[in-house]
Amino acid sequence: QVQLVESGGGSVQAGGSLRLSCAASGYTNRQYCMGWFRQAPGKEREGIAVFYSGGGITYYADSVKGRFTISQDNAKNTLYLQMNSLKPEDTAMYYCAASSRQRCSDYVWRDYVYDYWGQGTQVTVSS
């Protein structure tokens, strides 16, 4: 089992920055993909950034590319999402997710690939 706990959400003005953290515990060394998803009210959950440990590869959705950076601190078992140049359309609940599947890199944006999810942290960006 893996437990994921997100933190770092909050309210910021457009153009501001936030850094989300996801503290992982349990069988973390067996997770091949760890990523961030978000869900805005009335919209489907979407993947925005994923780190694939199998090859040290990062993936970004077009909507956040160039503004968000995903990183991982293995010593602290923590996944981060640095969010810069925030826009009102980034307002959503942000979730951390982990997948133990070796082939998760083939389906990084499919939420069914992920076995574990955190409870989420709210990000609100005002104009």
User: What's the pLDDT tens digit per position in 79-125?
Assistant: 999 999 999 999 999 999 999 988 898 999 999 999 999 999 999 99
pLDDT confidence bin for 1, thresholds 50/70/90: confident
Residue 56, pLDDT score? 86
Residue 81, pLDDT score? 98
Output 101-104 pairs: Cβ under 8 A, ≥24 positions apart.
101/32, 101/33, 102/32, 102/54, 104/32, 104/33, 104/52
Q: Judge whether 92 and 21 are in contact, CB under 8 Å.
A: no
For strands 10-13 and 121-126, give the pairing.
parallel
Residue 119, pLDDT score? 97
What does the pLDDT look like over 22-61, one tens digit per residue?
A: 999 887 677 889 999 999 999 999 999 999 988 889 999 9
What does the pLDDT look like over 89-98, one tens digit per residue?
A: 999 999 999 9
